[in-house]
Every structure is written in structure tokens, then in C-alpha cells.
Structure 1
């Protein structure tokens, strides 16, 4: 194609996602035609206000392995535009170490954030071939830095470098009572990775015997030093499946659902893990399927990994190591305070250590199932490669679909893409999706109306080339939870005393003024994040007749201690409906609630609350993109008329005009019109009980036919069994 033609393709692409895909071709052409002309053309692309083309040029430089390209990338480490500094640090990881660049990369580590993680990752790669030079740079930087957070990052990075020098420095920092506790914790955790180092074991044993904040970290370090290998199930033991979502405190009761990043994924993993092991027990009683090696291919144990405290991590290691069956929870301590997924990239090293620890404790892990392009999946994929654990990856066009929606709405342009990428890390996440998908033993796909087209156009994956490597698996919900919620709400609507969950909702609605009584509820459940569109729902509702016809209930978010993403949504809501006017206008923000509570509140929107709200409310999902939509499915199973994004998973199960309305949720006017129309549709059959029942029955029928958690578990069991059989066959071939 030629370097200039390829660059023109990136510049002229109609959509940002298309330009990102064409950037791969530009990088290939740069590797094929290195030379002064290519350097001049790519250098010119770094100028101007087209951020997308500039980033593409940086990655093209990364494919040219000569001194001239290295000089350009080195210069970019001092570029005023922070997003270019990050991308330069990223691509330098694939180049040979340059000793004059180590200092600049360490400078990025000191700055922290995503750029610091990227620079740390490059230094870790360089330390494999030039450990002395990286260690000298880090130790020198420690001499001139006093800030505890910055020193923590330097010591953590030093812990990734092998050699006697780094070990001595870690020993000194771990035992230095004059050092900040945060820095000492980084040194202690790093000593736990020096397997075969007797001095490290002695220091950790010493610290583990002393009461204080370092004791439990030292105990974890001793566990890490003693950790063994990970094998596969055999002899009819049943499969062990590990699944991960780092950015939540997942518990069996789902008590934190809707807080921070505790969204639909957290709910799904709890319900799915329970369903997998229940199904395995049923299959065992009926005669389990047997694989080629004579081993049971039923899932007997699920280990769900999420973040947790250091004490919980120790307890979970003991629990996972001692229980061969059931749904277990492994805790990943991150040492630094929990943050949103977008800001969690600097926790890569701590996440990787915690994931490795739990998987080693399990003893045998047959499949590691990863979802989402975030730091947990990045860390877990490294561990899976190290421990030789097969990976199943759920591929979704994320962040691709978000970029496409924002591009269509005009809020994301080539001129502001760099700032957005610096904040949301779009480019890195998109490449992480491609890497995880290409390296996975099997990929799972969500249903989409144009699945093949979208995967090819957005993600660059041709699922027809090797269809045996891909399986479409819809997500599912637990209808028992929905049925219990409906039973409680219906009983209360007929006069029964409400339970605690419905009484809490009555108190919230009862705080509204008299003129807001008797109106139906418009409900939305989910995280308070820009992608989920909670503030957009408020604006669409408030700027239409819907504000006079219904009250709005938003369930989710940590209102007392909001994360940065939650605060952004709260600020946007405040700009539309100030806090002092919420009750007057009928806006209720409840904060996050346990999953069972949210289910009962949705049921109450369907049945009504006697004396407070009318029945036949509406459920609204305002997400910029929704890969499937657990809360949407729960709302449909409850019998609520829904408003959903016209794309992704919802477009495959919401029957437009019958069970809900599909709309362009990124378009404020379209979302407003959809909410008004949904209220019209919900009110129309209200006088006709038979029509209301028929519509609710149809929604329930759709969910029950294809979207239960049990159906999802059965589909995934087949995927896991296939991966297990293939891995066992490969092991036998290698042994032979």
C-alpha cells in the first residue's frame, strides 16, 4: 500500500474506530518500509490537531527498530501532550533498552497514573535483559524523592528487577522504621516474589512475628514464597473455573451492588458461579459427562476473584486451598486505596501478585474466564501465561462501541481524542481486547443484531475464519429472585404489610410532596458512570412531559463517598435538578442497594405502592453502550415496559413497541422522546388488565426462553469442557 497511502487512510477515515483499525496497517507499512522518507512522513503526522493520526504515527514509529526512530520516541517522552508521552512509553517496551531513556521512564513512574503504569511496564520488560541499568536508575531516583506515593512506585518497580542489588535495597526498605509505611509495604510485598532467596524468607518471617500493619503483608509474602504450581483436574475430580472482576468487593449477598464499579458484572458472577456448581451437582447425580481423559467435565468448583483486604486475602487463600468444591471467593489486596476501573491501572503489579496467589492456592485450575479490557484482565493474562492456565475471554466491542457512540454524538472528535484517551485509555484498552482475544483458547461473544459485521468493523475479528473458536452465549438472570420480588410486591399491593425492602422504598417515595403522589415510577438501576448515562436519563426526563407524569428513581452509586466517576454524574444531575429541588420535582436518588432490594423496587414499579405510586411504571437504560444488560433483563422479567439502547445485546431481545422501545440513547432528544412514548405505552393498557398481563407475559416469555442464568451456565459448561479436553490432548501430545 505504501506509507503515505496508509497514512492518508487513517486521516480520511470517516469514523475514529475505523482510523484506529487502519493504524495497524500504517504500523505494518512502517515496519516494511523503514527509512528517511517514512520517518519524515510520520514525523509530519505528529504535528497539527489530529490526535488520532498522531497516536497512529507513534505506534508506527514503534515498528521501526533503528536509532532514528528511537530518537523520535525518546523525544516524545518529553512532549507537552501527555497522551503522546504515554504512547511513546508504551511502544518503547518492544524496543531494545536505551540506557539514556531509563531516567525519563522513571520520571513517568514518579508522576504515577496510567502513564506511570505504562512506563513501569516498559522498565520491567527492559529489566529482563538489562537489570543492572534499570536498578541503578531506580536506586538513584530513590535518593532524591521524599513523597511516599512516589517512593512506593519506585520501590514497587524495583521489586520487578532481579539481582542482588535490588534485593538488598528491598531488605533495607522493609526493615527501615524511618521509612513511610506505604513504602515499606511495597518492599515487603516485593520480597514475597524473591523465590529461592533465603534472606527474603528470613526477613518476612521476622516481620510476620511482629504485631503491626506489616505483619499480614509479610504473611502474604511467605505464602507467595511457598506457592506451588497449578495443574489441571483429572480422575473425575470435576473442573475448577476461575473468574475475575477486580473492581468490586464481590460477596455472595451482593450487598454492594451498584456502588462504584459493583454493577451488573458483579451480580452476574455471583449468580453464574452458583448456577455452575449447582448444575455440576445435578449432573453428578445423573451421571456426569466424561471427557477423553476419563475426567469429569462438570464444573465442581468456581473461584470468583475480586478485590479485598489483606486479612480477607489470607483467609481466602486458606479457604480456596482447603475446599475442592463449591463457589469460593478469592480476595486480591491492592495495598493502595480502591479506585474506579479507569484509574486502577497503577495497581497492575499488586493485582498480578494477588491473582497468582489465589490460583496457586487452588492447586488445579482448568479455565480462567476473563471479561472486560481492564487492569485485572491485563494482570490475569500474564499470570495465566506464566502458570499455563487456559483462558476463555468474553469479547465485546468495548471501548469500541463507546467511541462509536461518542463519535456519532459529536462529543468525541479527532481534536479532543487525545484528552479523552488520556482519561479513558481508549487505545490501550482496544489493543488489549485484540490481544486477549487472539491469545485466548476460546472466545465467548454476546448476541448482537449484526454480530459478524460489528466484530469485524469495530474489533477487527473475523469470527467466521475459525468458528470453532467462538461461541455466542447470552447472559442470564436468576428468575427465582425476580419471582420472589414480584410475590412480595404483589402481596403488598393487595394489602399485605410490606417487608423491609418495600418499606424502605415507601419512605423514599413518602418524602415527596403531596402533588407527586399517585404517579408511576420511572426506574433505572446501575452504576453512576458516564457510560451508564444516569445524568442523561435525568436530563431527558426533566426536559419533557415525563417530569409531570412520573417520578424518577435512580438506584446506584455511593452517595456518601462517591468516586470521581460517580461525582461527575452527580454534578451533572445537580446542574439539571439541584439537590434542594429533587423532592419537589420527583427525583429520588437512593444510592446503591443490595440486588434483592433493587429487584423488589422494580417489582413495586410494576405493581404500584398503595397510596404512593401508580402501577405500570417504566424502566430506562440510558447507557451509551450496553453489551447485554442484566438489569434490563430483570426489568423485563418483572413485566416493566423498558427503554433500551438500539444496539448491542438489548437489540436482540427487546421487541420494539411490544416489550419496550429501542432508541439512540446517546442522543438526548431521542432518549427524551423514548421516555415519553414509553409512558404512553405503559398507560395505554393500564385500563385493560388483560392487555397489561399479556404484555408482561410476553416479556417474561422472552427472558425465560433464552436468558436465564441456568441456560448461560449450561452453555459455558460446554465451552469449559471443550477447552479442558483440548488442553488435555495438547498435554498428552507434548508429553509424547
Structure 2
């Protein structure tokens, strides 16, 4: 591998890094790649143009096939924003269950490459409670960079639920217990802890991290709003979107007469996203007779195990229901630009689609895809569990769904379909106004830049000498 040279960084301003170590950065919706890659791409670009920021690095991983195809480790993404790839000795992108085997190697690579920038790294921001994030936390300690960690109620929430279930899978308990250990270590290491606000703000997070509720020294918990980048249509948006619309229109019916409602759902194919539960609920509630369900996500080239499992469950749910199979459209993952173009077109009354957006996830800590659909002008329905209720007010700018079972979800789908067009349009207008005024990538970048500057001004933790226990106790 080669670095491709050092980034050209101004002499003033902060150099910051953000991480996404699971999945491939340029393939949102495939495998482990979801909304985080879209978020970090837009926020990285916005941060790079924010006062006080000299440059931004988004740290990702590259497995052996990725490195064989492209040996450059550092490449400019946009002015002031670079992608830094950390090699991982695997034949596929590392997942949460095996990245722990590469923790020390990741820490070494991150320390080595981040030390070779030509300017010291000021702040490193990690967002997931996994072994990769702990490896980067160790690299930050070694090079003297401040550490920011975005904590979420999971895995503590899931651990609490699993302990109440006598039939809990021991492997799931073990994995979540290990993630609890990682999250607590990251909170202890971090110079600044941030949260993602839910229905009660940060109350649930404080419940699971009592050290934050006690003040955590001089560090205060904050939850800056995450944001959506401005929409920029691709040059051939009309042509690309037209091909998709033809397929949807073929199932929805001719524009001249009454059309079936289009239910759109976008996300990586994964059990936590519950596309299979959505299909079952759609059929059990009889919604398949009056609507077209369009699922966007997953790879058709090289699906991973979770994608294949989810597709098999979707197929099983439609067995014996030929009408449902006829009204179900599965599309592979699309680029973010294509998704947002499709959403805008479906929301545009000129095209005469009666369209709704639905997210059936078991929970969404934030739900960037939901926000993007709101920004596009679609009326949306999202899970009541997690962070979506922080910005989606049921019956005001969208609907909240109980996604705990197919039966409960089916009730929500019926409510969504029975929503009259006038009420739906009013909800969509309020949703769009909220996102455009309060949830922009530039506003998020401004808030983050302020936190990063404060971390640096308060001084970093003492970095002298090696840690006697650099990674804490052995993994559970």
C-alpha cells in the first residue's frame, strides 16, 4: 500500500478525523454500509469549509480485495476532506464479530498513518461501540489527539432486555456484553461524550451511563443535531430516475386512473432494519391489495450473510400470496443521489403518485434516511423506538410506528394508508420545513467544530508513557 502523499493542510485551524470502520464507504445500503457513510461524507465536506477547521480525514478500513484493486491509502475526497484507509488482513470487510481480532493492528496502522500527516491530529471522533473504535481510541492516546465519542443507549438497552428473556441466545448475550464493555471503556477514555437525542432528549443515555449523569468530571453530555446535506441532483437524474419510475408505475397502475399507493423503504438489508417484518405486516394487514411496496437496499453482486438471510425471509413471507409478490418491488442499493431524486419525484404532484415513506426498523438511533425523505417532501412513518421521535411528532409532521411485531406494524401501515391526502400534504410541509431549518449538514458541522475547539482548548489528557493496560481487560 502507498499513501498517495501528505494532505496539503493550512498552518492554522484544527485537523480532525472521523471514523467509519464497518462496511465500504462508497456503497451505502450494501452489507454493513448504511446512513453513516452518507452522513460522514456530507459532514466531512461541510466541516472542511467551516471556520477554524484546517482539514478533515474520514478513517475507513480496506480489506485485501479492496487493497488489491486500489493500493492508495490516502486520497482527497473533496477540498479539505480526505479518506484514510486502514488495511485489515481479511478477505472481506470486517464485521462486528471479527474486527476484535484486528484491534491491535488497526491501532498500529492508525497511529502510524495519522502520525505521518505533516501536522498533528487535534481530534479524533468515533461513533460506534466496537473494537475498531477502541483501537482508534488507543491510537489517539498514542499520538496525543483528543477523543470524542458519540454514545447511544445501545448496547446497554439491548443487554437489559436480553437479561429479562430466559430464551436469550447466549451468543447474542456475549456479543452485547462485550459491546457494553467497549462502550464503557470509550466513555472513560473520551475527552468529550456526545449523545443522539431520543424522545426524552438524553435521559435514556444518562440512565445507561450513570458516570455521565454524575457530571463525568468537567465533561458535559451534549446532543448536537445531525444533518442532511443539500440536495444536488446528478447530471442525468431525470434519465436514471425515469427508469426506476417506469418499474414502479408498472405496478402502481396508469397515471390516468386511480393508482395504488407507493410505500417506499430505503436501507441496508439487515435484521435490525426488519424489511422481512415489514413485508409480513404489509400482507397480514391486507395493505398489499391497495399499495405497492418498494424496498431499496442490499447488494445483488456479492450479498453478505445478513442480506441473503433477509432476502430469504422476504421470499418466505410472500409464499402463498401471489398478489403480494406482484405488488412488491425489490431494488438493489442506489446511490444517495439516486435515492433522493426518486423521493423527490414520488413526492412531486406532477407525477401523480400517492407515495409514503416507511421505516420499519426495530429502532433507529437517528434515522438519516427518514430525515432525507422528510426533506424531499414525502410524508413519513418511522419507529417510535430510538431517536426518530426527537424530530418526528406523531400526527403533526409524520407518523410513529410500533415496530415490535408484524401485527403492531400492520396497524401503523393501515393508519399510514388511510391518511387523507390533505393531512398528508400538511405533514409533509411541516416535516420539510423542520429539516431544512434545523437539520442541515452545515449546522451540524458548526456545532461539531465548536465542540472540537473546546476539547483542544481544555487540553488533552496526559499522554506521557505507555498505558499499563492499553485496551483494558481481556474481551469478554
Q: TM-score range by the shorter chain?
A: 0.7 to 0.9
Q: Which of these residues, 15, 25, 44, is aligned with residue 240 of structure 1?
A: 15
* Distance in structure 1 (CA, Å) of the matches to 2:105 and 2:264: 38
Q: Which of these residues, 617, 627, 645, is aligned with residue 383 of structure 2?
A: 645
Name the residue aligned to 1:354.
Answer: 109
1:315 aligns with 2:72: yes
Within a 5 Å distance, the mapping from 1:126-275 to structure 2 comes to: 216=1, 237-251=12-26, 256-275=27-46
Contact 1:390 1:723 in 2 (8 A): yes
Shift of 1:559: 2.7
Name the residue aligned to 1:711.
Answer: 443
* Distance in structure 2 (CA, Å) of the matches to 1:544 and 1:406: 29
Within a 5 Å distance, the mapping from 1:183-582 to structure 2 comes to: 216=1, 237-251=12-26, 256-279=27-50, 283=51, 298-308=52-62, 309-310=66-67, 314-317=71-74, 319=75, 326-339=80-93, 341-345=95-99, 346-363=101-118, 364-403=120-159, 413-422=165-174, 425-463=175-213, 465-466=215-216, 468-481=219-232, 484=233, 499-509=238-248, 512=251, 518-578=259-319, 581=322
Contact 1:617 1:679 in 2 (8 A): no
When normalised by structure 1's length, the TM-score is 0.57
Shift of 1:312: 7.2
* Distance in structure 2 (CA, Å) of the matches to 1:303 and 1:672: 43
* Distance in structure 2 (CA, Å) of the matches to 1:543 and 1:558: 27
Within a 5 Å distance, the mapping from 1:592-671 to structure 2 comes to: 592-607=333-348, 610=351, 614-671=352-409
Judge which range, 506-515 or 704-713, deviates more: 506-515
SS of 2:212's equivalent in the other structure is coil
Contact 1:547 1:585 in 2 (8 A): no
Contact 1:522 1:551 in 2 (8 A): yes
Shift of 1:561: 1.8
Within a 5 Å distance, the mapping from 1:3-42 to structure 2 comes to: none
Unpaired runs of 5+ residues, structure 2, are 464-476
Shift of 1:311: 5.6
* Distance in structure 2 (CA, Å) of the matches to 1:666 and 1:464: 33
Q: Are the structure 2 counterparts of residues 527 and 442 from structure 1 closer, same or farther at C-alpha, using a change threshold of 3 Å?
A: same
Q: Are the structure 2 counterparts of residues 459 and 565 from structure 1 closer, same or farther at C-alpha, using a change threshold of 3 Å?
A: farther
Task: Write out per-residue CA displacement over residues 523-570 of structure 1, whole angstroms, 9 at most, x where no aligned residue.
Answer: 111111111111111111121132112101111111332111112211
Task: Write out per-residue CA displacement over residues 258-297 of structure 1, whole angstroms, 9 at most, x where no aligned residue.
Answer: 0011101111000000000122xxx3xxxxxxxxxxxxxx
Shift of 1:399: 2.0
Shift of 1:440: 0.1
* Distance in structure 2 (CA, Å) of the matches to 1:544 and 1:325: 50
SS of 1:554's equivalent in the other structure is strand
Q: Are the structure 2 counterparts of residues 651 and 460 from structure 1 closer, same or farther at C-alpha, using a change threshold of 3 Å?
A: same
Name the residue aligned to 2:471.
Answer: none
Q: Are the structure 2 counterparts of residues 655 and 399 from structure 1 closer, same or farther at C-alpha, using a change threshold of 3 Å?
A: same
Task: Write out per-residue CA displacement over residues 466-503 of structure 1, whole angstroms, 9 at most, x where no aligned residue.
Answer: 4743221111101334xx49xx9xxxxxxxx9723212
Structure with the higher helix share, 1 or 2: 1
SS of 2:48's equivalent in the other structure is helix
SS of 2:360's equivalent in the other structure is coil
When normalised by structure 2's length, the TM-score is 0.86
Shift of 1:514: 5.9
SS of 2:45's equivalent in the other structure is helix
Structure with the higher strand share, 1 or 2: 2
- RMSD, matched Cα: 3.3
Query: Which is greater in Rg?
Result: 1
Using CA pairs under 8 Å that are at least 6 residues apart, name the structure with larger relative contact order, 1 or 2: 2
Name the residue aligned to 1:125.
Answer: none
Shift of 1:417: 3.7
Contact 1:512 1:583 in 2 (8 A): no
